[in-house]
Amino acid sequence: MDSIQLKLCDIQGRLFEKSTAYASESFIRDFMNSEVARHLDSPYNKLQWMGEEYLLEELKDEKELSVEGEKYNPDVLYWIGYLYRYWASSRGERSKRIYRLAPAKTLKRNYFAFHTFDPDVAIDDLIEIGRQRQTK
C-alpha cells in the first residue's frame, strides 16, 4: 500500500466516523453499494481527492440516507470505513463484493477482537468468517 492508498483509507474512515447522524448499518450498506464507493474503487477518480465532507454530500445526492436505527460508536465507524477501503485497495476488490462477504454487522461484532490487528490479518479473518457464514 502506498501513501496515497493509505490516505484514501483515512478519508473513508473519517467519512464513516462523520456518519453518526445516520443509522449506521444502512449508511454503510448504502455507501458500499454506491457510485461514490465505485469511484473510490477505481485506479484513479477525481472523487479520491475530495475530503470526507464532499464525499458525504455526494452520497446524500445519490442515496436517501436513513436516520432511524442504531448508530455505532465513532471509533467503530472509523475502523470499519478504514478497513473496507484498505481491503479494496490492497486486494483489488470492489466495495459491493466486500460488503456482501463482510456486512456492517459482522465488522461491528468483531471490532473489539480485530481493531488492534494488522489490517491484513483482520481481513483474512473476516474472509474466513464470511465463507463460513455463506456455507451455512
Q: Which three cell numbers stand for residue 48?
A: 479520491
Q: Which tens digit of pLDDT belongs to each residue from 62-107?
A: 999 999 999 999 999 999 999 999 999 999 999 999 999 999 999 9
Q: What is the pLDDT of residue 45?
A: 56
- How far, in Å, CA of 59 to CA of 33, rounded? 10
Q: Which three cell numbers stand for residue 22?
A: 445516520
Alpha helices in 18-73 (DSSP H): 24-32, 35-41, 52-62
Give the number of other CB atoms < 10 A from CB of residue 103.
17
- How far, in Å, CA of 134 to CA of 136, rounded? 6
Q: What is the pLDDT of residue 50?
A: 75
Q: Which tens digit of pLDDT belongs to each residue from 24-76?
A: 999 999 999 999 999 889 877 565 667 888 899 999 999 999 999 999 999 99
Amino acid at position 14, single letter: R
Where in the sequence is the domain holding 54, given as residue range(s)? Answer: 3-135
Q: What is the pLDDT of residue 3?
A: 84
Q: Which tens digit of pLDDT belongs to each residue from 10-26?
A: 999 999 999 999 999 99
Contact 56, 18 (CB under 8 A): yes
The total number of structural domains in the chain stands at 1
pTM over 0.75? The answer is yes
Q: Which three cell numbers stand for residue 96?
A: 459491493
